[in-house]
């Protein structure tokens, strides 16, 4: 994050001083310590390495196949951590921050910050939840219907039953290795690599803000092409079925990548895309219609989408997530994006 220099915006400050400050900020933003070609090449290499290392235990290290799903996923977790560490080191090296002694500044490049934590976590979740208005209506309808079917006379017993079910559900997920993959390892490592490492490189490579928002998710989507190989060769899906499944995934990841890239650049915090990623993984695809809700879910989904678009910029105003805009560097694009 930007260095917290003492504020010079006193009432007695001259207009020329303020103008010089704005000019210096724009110059800092315009500085590109690396070329655009190097930035794109580095991003492509990070995306390739993030996927390729998943297959290294058997193809390169010649380790025996894992005996269970748990051991298989734990092995992949370790590979994702190694890939993330390599990407972080590479990003900092290319930006010339390898020898910087200011550790908070180094972490701030990646969006890892200790300030404005609750804003970076709460506001993006509230904003993202608007997309799932139809899902909330559909799930609420199911809960009410189930409660009616079980009878109201045992309402107090039902509360206790639902409490135990919720506890059992949490315990089961805590022991589920796939839950750890979907809600912990994947969101953190993917956002760290594809947003925290790649976007600062592209910003400092001189690319425009909207070019990065709309084009950088290509790296994120291409990293999911390995799913086609797994479906086609390992799970023996037909070519067309595997193609349709992966095509849908790629389309979804591109749209999702637009949103998380937007969040990262606007807020300057890695927490925002991470919590949005976890929330979307928990909710799945948004429900746009449900026959049992008699059109209520569709109306809610449409209203939620309108609200999301209306609040997209106000809810991600950089002033809500950053205290100062002095001393901005090329990776602090939010300094010039109000």
Catalytic residues, by residue number, are 190, 224
Burial of 41: CB neighbours in 10 Å, binned 0-12, 13-18, 19+: middle
Q: Which residues contact 204 (CB under 8 A, 6 or more apart)?
A: 31, 32, 33, 34, 39, 95, 329, 330, 331
Taking CA 307 as the corner, what is the angle to CA 302 and CA 310, rounded to the nearest 5 degrees?
A: 125
CA atoms within 13 A on the CB side of 194: 35
CB 142 within 8 A of CB 297: no
Q: What are phi and psi of 247, to 5 degrees?
A: -60, -40
């Amino acid at each position: 994050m930007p260095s917290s220099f003492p504020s010079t915006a006193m009432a007695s400050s001259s207009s020329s001083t303020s103008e010089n400050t704005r000019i210096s900020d724009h110059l800092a933003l315009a500085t590109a310590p690396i070329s655009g070609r190097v930035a794109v090449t580095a991003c492509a290499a990070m995306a390739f390495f993030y996927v390729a290392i998943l297959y290294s235990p058997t193809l390169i290290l010649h380790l025996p196949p894992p005996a269970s799903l748990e051991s298989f996923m734990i092995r992949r977790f370790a590979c994702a951590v190694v890939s993330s560490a390599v990407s972080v080191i590479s990003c900092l090296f290319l930006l010339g921050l390898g020898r910087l002694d200011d550790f908070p500044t180094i972490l701030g490049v990646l969006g890892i910050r200790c300030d404005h934590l609750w804003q970076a976590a709460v506001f993006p979740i509230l904003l993202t939840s608007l997309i799932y208005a139809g899902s909330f209506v559909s799930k609420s309808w199911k809960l009410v219907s189930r409660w009616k079917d079980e009878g109201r006379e045992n309402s107090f017993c039902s509360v206790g039953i639902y409490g135990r079910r919720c506890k059992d559900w949490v315990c089961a997920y805590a022991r589920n290795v796939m839950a750890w993959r979907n809600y912990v390892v994947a969101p953190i490592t993917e956002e760290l690599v594809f947003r925290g490492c790649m976007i600062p490189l592209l910003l400092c490579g001189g690319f425009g803000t909207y070019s990065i928002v709309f084009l950088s998710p290509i790296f994120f989507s291409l990293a999911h092409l390995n799913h086609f190989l797994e479906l086609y060769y390992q799970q023996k899906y037909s070519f067309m079925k595997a193609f349709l499944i992966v095509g849908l995934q790629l389309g979804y990841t591109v749209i999702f990548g637009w949103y998380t890239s937007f969040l990262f650049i606007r807020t300057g915090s890695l927490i925002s895309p991470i919590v949005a990623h976890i929330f979307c993984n928990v909710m799945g695809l948004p429900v746009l219609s449900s026959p049992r809700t008699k059109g209520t879910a569709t109306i809610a989904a449409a209203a939620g989408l309108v609200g999301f678009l209306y609040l997209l910029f106000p809810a991600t105003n950089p002033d809500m997530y950053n205290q100062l805009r002095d001393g901005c560097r090329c990776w602090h694009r939010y300094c010039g994006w109000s």
